[in-house]
Each structure stands twice: as structure tokens, then as C-alpha cells.
Amino acid sequence: MNNRRNWIKETGLGILGMSLGININAQTITKEQPSNSDSMTLLGLNENPYGPSPKALIAMQESISNANRYAFKTTTALINAIAKKNEVTPENVLLAPGSTELLDLTFQLTSQNKGSYIIANNTFDYWTSTKTDSEFKRIPIPLTKDKKHDLKAMFNAIQTDTKLIYICNPNNPTGTICNRKELLSFIEKVSEKVMILIDEAYIDYTEEESLGNLGITNKNVIITKTFSKLHGLAGARIGYAIGHTSTIKKLKELKSWPNGNLSLISMAGALVSLQDHAFTEKVKKLNIEAKEYTIKEFQKLKITTIPSYTNFLYFSLENYPKDYLQQLALNRIKGSRIYEENGKWSRITIGNIEEMKILISALQ
Ligand SMILES: Cc1ncc(COP(=O)(O)O)c(C=O)c1O
């Protein structure tokens, strides 16, 4: 549970939670906004600094007056739109308030009869804190030297009781991506016996094709996606899983009201955002520009980066002369922890260009 507690602390939700008991007002809510001058520069959670899409905002505002009704029609419309985008049927899709819940559900499903699961080290793993090692044994597999998933080692680590393998593609915190051919052949070999959970939270930042439609035929593949990143709807909480109809059915059985726990307002935003290609293309372009700027400036500061397919960068502070975390703190910038002491590797979200300039001047 410690991981989760740290995460809550990192996100600032702890502060909001404390204030909930006292008084919640508009000012408390607007504290999430990074743009006013006395707030922090938020580069810790890989949020999208440009979102939500203006069209999604209008749809959300317009939907508010219908908030007295249950949102059956909007739910169906969103599932249909997601199915169409991913070239699957609506029965292959399960919605949730954020993809974390779908990672959790997959974890619950596969750990029902105990056994073990295989996961990279480092990767996005807060959701695994719901089980102790004795309930569901964790088999961590180090990344390769170039910080990618070591698919060969993951394959070799499979035990007779292994129920789940998690692949975050692209990977958080490293921003690296699996070679598509290798990943497909890994899935083909492994999925005969073991469930593979592919987390595509950042895939839309890449030019790679999603593996979503594998779910049509393969019972042992679940793909999760989110509106929290490219679509800039992290606070609206919308994610979805794609899988075989029978697998989605099993996930649904873990819920009292599957597809029923999303707000009309969030779904209205997601539905419109899905069609707003001009917005998502603009976000991708601005992300690349700000990322290139940051990489160039990091080089001057002796901070070494590795290629990133995402809206964040993973970098080594080994040759950076100052105390990085202190520089962030002094300048009210929220970044990430040191993930690997060896090489002093950390991660930073690519914000907008103004935010990256604040970061660079803080580190100079
Ligand atoms: C790889 C990865 N998966 C899932 C999530 C969770 O996203 P959501 O907001 O959809 O719960 C994150 C959030 O940072 C992430 O980095």
C-alpha cells in the first residue's frame, strides 16, 4: 500500500483530501491549475498541458444540464465510438473511470487462484500494490541496458503458476517502446497459457499502431487505454480495456454495474475528443517541439536523455553538477523521484514550451 500512498502524496490528492473535510470551494478546485503565477509547475504526472480539447470542453459544459439523468445513451455512444476507432465490436470494450481501474480489474481476475505475475523493473506499477507477494508473487524483470522491456528474459521467467505478464508500451517511466515484430511474436508464444496485459496509455503519442484489435481473436490479451494523456482528460477519469468478448465478460463480472461508473460529463468530453483530430495532432506536434527543445537544453546541462516515444523524458543526472531535486524544489517545480540510483535516472513530463523554459532556467 506504500506505493499508493506515495502516489497520492505525489499527486497532491492528499492535500485535497484533507481540505475536503473542511471546506471545498472553487479556489480549492482551481489549485490543480498550473498556470497562475504562484502555483507550481506541474511536470510530475505526464499530464497534457494543452487539454482538454476546446470542443470537448463545450460538450462537457452542454452536458451538465442533463446530469439529472443516467447516461445510458452517452455510454453506448462512447463504447461504439471506441469500438469503431479500434476496429473491434462494442462487446470487446469495457469503460472505467481511468485505465488504472482496468489494470486493477485484470490483476483481480488473474490473481483469483494465486500464482505469480511478471512485470518489468522499472515500469508503471502502482496498481500492483493491492496484493502482497504471498497472495500473488511478483517476478520483476530488469529492463535491458537501453531501458526497454526484456521480452526474452520475461519469457524465460515464466513459471508453471504464472498468470499474468504486464507490458507497458510505451513504457513509463522510460518512454521506450517494444519492437512491434518482437512484441507480436512474444504475444503469440506466451498467450497460449498466460494473460498478457498491454498498457497503451501513451501509444497515441507514437506513430505505432495499437494492438487493440488482437482482442478480437485472442482470449489472453487485454489492452488498456486512457483519455488522461493525449486527450488531456486526466481529471475527467476515462479509460477503457479492449479484449476478447469472453475476457471482457469476465472483467465485467467483477463489477456490480459495468460501464456504469462514469459521469455523463466526462463521457461527453471523451466522445467529442475522440473525433477532434485537429486537437490531438496539435498536441502531438507541440509535444515534439517542447521535447526537442528540452533534449537540446539538457545536453548543454550534461543531462543525458534516451529516445522517448511519449510526453515525458527519462534521463541520467550522473554528470549534472547540481542537486537536481533541490533545484526543482527551490523553483516550485513538480518532477519525479530518482528511479535508479545507478546513473541517477529520473523522469520529467514534457509540459508546454513556457513550462520547459522554467525547468531549464531552474536547472542552469
Ligand atoms: C502507463 C500508465 N498507465 C496507466 C496510467 C493511469 O492512467 P489513468 O488516468 O487512465 O488511470 C498512467 C498514468 O500516469 C500511466 O502512466
- Between the CA of 364 and the centroid of ligand 1 the distance, in Å, is 31
Pairing of strands 162-168, 195-199: parallel
As a whole number, mean pLDDT of residues 323-335 equals: 98
CB 34: neighbour CB atoms within 10 A?
16
- Between the CA of 100 and the centroid of ligand 1 the distance, in Å, is 6
Amino acid, single-letter form, for residue 260: G
At 39 the pLDDT is 81
Query: Which atom, in ligand 1's list, is nearest to the CA of 227?
Result: 10
At 21 the pLDDT is 46
Inter-residue contact 56 to 233 (CB < 8 Å): yes
Where do you find CATH 3.40.640.10 in the chain? 55-275
Q: Per residue in 11-31, pLDDT tens?
A: 444 444 344 444 545 454 455
- Between the CA of 201 and the centroid of ligand 1 the distance, in Å, is 6
Look at domain 33-48+277-363 and name its CATH class: alpha beta
CB 135: neighbour CB atoms within 10 A?
10
- The mean pLDDT value of the chain amounts to 91
As a whole number, mean pLDDT of residues 163-174 equals: 98
105 lines ligand 1 (CB under 6 A): no
- CA proximity to 317, closest of 301, 294, 297, 333: 301
For 5, the 3-state DSSP assignment is helix
CATH of 55-275, one of 3.40.50.150, 3.40.50.180, 3.40.640.10, 3.40.50.300: 3.40.640.10
Distance, in Å, from the CA atom of 303 to the CA atom of 314, rounded to the nearest integer, reads: 10
Q: Per residue in 208-254, pLDDT tens?
A: 999 998 988 999 999 999 999 999 999 999 999 999 999 999 999 99
Q: What is the DSSP letter of 65?
A: G
Q: Per residue in 33-61, pLDDT tens?
A: 555 445 899 999 999 999 899 999 999 99
Where do you find CATH 3.90.1150.10 in the chain? 33-48+277-363
Inter-residue contact 202 to 234 (CB < 8 Å): no
